[in-house]
Structure 1
Amino acid sequence: MTEQTETVPEARDIVLEARGVSKHFRVRRNTGDVLARRHRAVHAVDDVSLKLRRGTVTALVGESGSGKSTVARLLAQLYPLTGGEIHLEGRAVKAGRGRSFRRYVRQVQLIFQDPFASLNPVHTVRYHLSRSLKIHGRAGSGEADLEAGLVALLERVQLTPPQRFLDKFPHELSGGQRQRVAIARALGADPQVLLADEPVSMLDVSIRLGVLNLLKDLKDRLHLAILYITHDIASARYFADSTLVMYAGRIVEGGDSETVTQRPAHPYTQLLIASAPDPDRVVAPEEQQETGSGEPPSLIAPPAGCRFHPRCPKAMERCRTELPPRFDLEGGQWAACWLYDSATVTKEAAAK
């Protein structure tokens, strides 16, 4: 396993970084056993590290319940950390509210999955966007400045003419239009980072591409760092520059999106690729069995060793007892899997 060092320009490009971030949720039980309540917790996220760079999209991929949305909420400081650190532009971020929190959210904005739930149904588009501009000090000095700011936000998310949308309520908009309003509200803070939590999963298939193209255009024009959270690994290949694969609270593979999606290294990533619909792919029954089966483990009592080993068709004895570190592969790709430790593979083969 080799350690890669970053050049100075690459380090400067990092806007937001998570270092060994963990989040455990205490389990509340209707029982008089105080010790049971104290020690039982959901290990939603364990030792997650990632870097978001200016002008790039990083995809975080995994099935439901893997901890992807929890990572986004940790980066948005909606949840306190159980462990680890978050760094914004190289400086550690301290948990809290008040002015420091407001400065942080100006630079790091979260776009939620369901635009209808994230917009107040009793207020108009004008209210939502005006509030964003005012809170973050970008409303100008008068009504004319505010109106110009509202028009600019709607034009930026391609809702034109702006006057057609400003006085509409969320229920009067389509799903795609609501999500564009939610994106415009996030842009009202003039952020450097967008955390997009499955931004197109609640939309009709016919309009998903338009929203993804909008985010891609914003990334290029505003030089944003975007975290794109999705369960659709195929869209990660299209939209993201790099992809991280998450399973049961841990990141198990990473690299540039083309490599991860075309040459997946971790058995779980291979399972995700095999599960994606592809009308041109013909898979023999025996090959389907090799991708793994079963359900994700309980995160209250996660399995020892690699968390994927109960489902992994290539699991070895060491996988059941020891957590695999990150093994660097060719082209910047890496995988947390004992299959890439030659000593482990040799020992397993000799035992057979």
Structure 2
Amino acid sequence: MTLSDSADAPVNEVVLEAVGLTKHFPVRKRLRDLLTRTTAAVHAVDDVSFVLRRGQVTALVGESGSGKSTVARLLAQLHPRTAGDLLLHGRSTRVRGGRAFRAYVRRVQLILQDPFASLNPVHTIRYHLTRSLRIHGNAGRSAEDLDKALADLLTRVSLTPPERYLDAFPHELSGGQRQRVAIARALGADPEVLLADEPVSMLDVSIRLGVLNLLRDLKERLDLAILYITHDIASARYFADDTIVMYAGRMVEGGDSETVTKNPAHPYTRLLIESAPDPDRITGAGDAADVGGAADADRGHGEPPSLISPPSGCRFHPRCPHAMPRCTVELPPRHDIGDRPGHWAACWLYDPATVTAEGPGSAAPDADPSVPPPPALIRQDGTASVGDAR
């Protein structure tokens, strides 16, 4: 692809694939641990596998500390992986710097969460974009070519007229404008993959939708593969084609975004969705019996586990209202839910043996009449409720 609109690119081609990605950060030993041979480590990411396809957005959703940003940095090869593999167009890749790293980041670009921190405050927007174009060989051969490329980048991210922004400093722009500059800088490499690490969480609610619409437009025009990292599962339904839910470093559910958010299977996914703003809860509409009563009061209490010594079995079992003895000792594999193709959950509730022993349908959380359905994430007029489900 070039900075002009892409064409003739294979639809839904797998561009980047994570296979069993694992990252453990060693913990510095204390004085009393010096005589031990074991080294403690933070299990930030364990056995994460998914694909990024051209022209599609994959959302990675979870609360703070679930390992989402670590996954993005592993895909950007800013952290060496402990285990697993990373396939770019089907070929295993591992780079540690130099020309190989530059060739890799020309195809895989990372957009960070805070645009003010990611831009050097002592340099102008012209400097940031020019540096990106020149490093990746897209600045042209003359000053006229460079000026045209700069204007094209700013036009692509809807910062017009370009002359108004080129000689401005980051502190002279609003948060949304700075994030658009960060996106333009990433586009200066002419990438195939954008790793967007919570790109709208630092922005005002009123301008989040504009940035998401910009990324969607770029995806469609340039056939980009986008990884959208967020803790806001409502915006994932609005923006992403597929959604993957992470908890304590592990993937717990995945599928197309509408199915995952409308018919969540894993108890943790239900907890995330119920944390989204709900007008009925805000106004107090409905009594306790309508929203689950006392049974709902025990759902999801507690804190995320320590990743230095994570729980055995399912990592969500200390907080899960449906936990069984099996959940505390055995790690659940992926189980197909069966409602839509590709919808899966890593939960023993959907193990065929559990369903057979307890009766058809009894394993699913939806079968419990005391558990309320997830709140609507799309308003009646069709617009998205892009809230902040923290």
Given the alignment, which residue of 325, 328, 331 partners 2:336?
A: 328
1:17 partnered with 2:32: no
SS in structure 2 of the partner of residue 214 of structure 1? helix
1:147 partnered with 2:157: no
- Whether the aligned pair in 1 keeps the contact of 2:29 and 2:39 (CA below 8 Å) is no
- Whether the aligned pair in 2 keeps the contact of 1:55 and 1:220 (CA below 8 Å) is yes
- Whether the aligned pair in 2 keeps the contact of 1:338 and 1:345 (CA below 8 Å) is no
Segments of 5+ residues of structure 2 without an aligned counterpart are: 1-8, 360-390
- Whether the aligned pair in 2 keeps the contact of 1:130 and 1:139 (CA below 8 Å) is yes
1:225 partnered with 2:221: no
* Other-structure match for 1:4: none
Q: Point out the structure with the larger helix share.
A: 1
CA distance in 2 between counterparts of 1:39 and 1:344 reads 37
SS in structure 2 of the partner of residue 311 of structure 1? coil
SS in structure 2 of the partner of residue 312 of structure 1? coil
Deviations 1:281-300 (A, max 9, x none): 55243353353211000000
Residue type matched to 1:106 in 2? R
1:102 to 1:276, Cα distance in 2 relative to 1, 3 A: same
Deviations 1:153-207 (A, max 9, x none): 0000000000000000000000000000000000000000000000000000110
Deviation at 1:89, TM superposition (A): 0.6
Residue type matched to 2:313 in 1? G
Residue type matched to 2:238 in 1? Y
Deviation at 1:38, TM superposition (A): 4.8
Segments of 5+ residues of structure 1 without an aligned counterpart are: 1-8
1:300 to 1:36, Cα distance in 2 relative to 1, 3 A: farther
- Whether the aligned pair in 2 keeps the contact of 1:24 and 1:42 (CA below 8 Å) is yes
CA distance in 1 between counterparts of 2:146 and 2:37 reads 51
CA distance in 1 between counterparts of 2:61 and 2:214 reads 20
Deviation at 1:12, TM superposition (A): 6.7
SS in structure 2 of the partner of residue 190 of structure 1? coil
Residue type matched to 2:275 in 1? S
- Which range is displaced more, 94-103 or 124-133? 94-103
* Other-structure match for 2:321: 313
Given the alignment, which residue of 294, 297, 302 partners 1:294?
A: 302
CA distance in 2 between counterparts of 1:67 and 1:87 reads 20
* Other-structure match for 2:197: 197
Residue type matched to 1:15 in 2? V
RMSD of equivalent CA atoms: 1.7
What is the TM-score normalised by the length of structure 2?
Answer: 0.84
- Whether the aligned pair in 1 keeps the contact of 2:19 and 2:85 (CA below 8 Å) is yes
1:220 to 1:11, Cα distance in 2 relative to 1, 3 A: closer
Deviation at 1:328, TM superposition (A): 1.3
Q: % of aligned pairs identical?
A: 73
1:264 to 1:173, Cα distance in 2 relative to 1, 3 A: same
- Whether the aligned pair in 2 keeps the contact of 1:200 and 1:211 (CA below 8 Å) is yes
SS in structure 1 of the partner of residue 166 of structure 2? coil
How many correspondences in the alignment? 341
* Other-structure match for 1:243: 243
CA distance in 1 between counterparts of 2:334 and 2:35 reads 35
1:63 partnered with 2:63: yes
What is the TM-score normalised by the length of structure 1?
Answer: 0.93
CA distance in 2 between counterparts of 1:345 and 1:26 reads 40
- Whether the aligned pair in 2 keeps the contact of 1:154 and 1:162 (CA below 8 Å) is yes
1:178 to 1:324, Cα distance in 2 relative to 1, 3 A: same
SS in structure 2 of the partner of residue 295 of structure 1? coil
